[in-house]
Copies of this chain bind each other. A is one copy, B any other.
Amino acid sequence: MKQAIDFYFDFSSPYGYLGSHKIEAIAAKHGRSVTWRPMLLGAAFKVTGAKPLSELPVKKDYFARDFVRSAKFHGVPFRLPSAFPVSTVAAARAYYWLAEKDPQKAVELAKALYKAYFVDDINISETDNVVRIAASVGCDADEVRAALDNQAVKDKTRAEVEAAIAKGVFGSPYVVVDGEPFWGVDRFDQLERWLATGGW
């Protein structure tokens, strides 16, 4: 059986969001499954010295334009959230909590969180919003709220983020297939050919 594709992303990353719309079709085409792995760009930036795109002189204007253009290019609905970027630690904790119980529903939650943030302009850094979004995919609101404050869930999330960084993940989206890393939704063309040919 072929290995799953590791799909790393930050819930506040526009390119990660675009990638989330494409990764499953690409994987399915080549008989692969996808393991969704939210990470925290802020933690990775501490290692690489990078800064959020929105804070870079000159580049930030380019990226604001490129987010919108790239979304249209890929045919994905998008609007730049009013609060951008935001902390996504609550979103990541909700995901990892749910993934231990129901991996498939956790992916559904990931998609709902991305849609809330990049389509409906809901600030997913706020616990109340994460709880509401989790409830919308069938979770019990009180249970989610308790999980977000649970030390074991916090530890699990931290361990997942640290494991990602230890594997060299520094951006979003970042895909690893059979040990080969692809950074950016603009490497999905290479990812597709890699899957089709087994590398080159």
A residues sitting closer than 8 Å to B (CB atoms) are 47-50, 56-59, 61-62, 65-66, 69-70, 72-73, 168, 170, 181, 183-184, 186-187, 189-190, 193, 200
- Name which residue of chain B comes closest to A194, CB basis: B69
Cβ A62 vs Cβ B183 within 8 A? yes
CB-defined contacts of A66 to chain B, threshold 8 Å: 183, 187
Contact with A193, one of B49, B65, B73 (Cβ below 8 angstroms): B73
Cβ B48 vs Cβ A56 within 8 A? yes
- Name which residue of chain B comes closest to A65, CB basis: B181
Cβ B186 vs Cβ A62 within 8 A? no
* Candidate in A57, A58, A183 with the most chain B CB atoms within 10 angstroms: A58
- Name which residue of chain B comes closest to A188, CB basis: B186
The CA-CA distance from A183 to B61 in the complex, in Å, is 12
The CA-CA distance from A66 to B181 in the complex, in Å, is 9
- Name which residue of chain B comes closest to A200, CB basis: B72
Cβ A190 vs Cβ B70 within 8 A? yes
What are 23 pairs between A and B in contact, CB < 8 Å? A47-B58, A48-B57, A48-B58, A48-B59, A49-B57, A58-B168, A59-B170, A61-B168, A62-B170, A62-B181, A62-B183, A65-B181, A66-B187, A69-B190, A69-B200, A70-B190, A73-B189, A73-B193, A73-B200, A184-B186, A186-B186, A186-B187, A189-B189
- Name which residue of chain B comes closest to A48, CB basis: B58
Give 15 A-B pairs besides A49-B57, A59-B170 with Cβ atoms closer than 8 angstroms: A47-B58, A48-B56, A48-B57, A49-B56, A50-B59, A58-B168, A61-B168, A62-B168, A65-B181, A66-B187, A69-B190, A70-B190, A73-B189, A184-B186, A186-B186
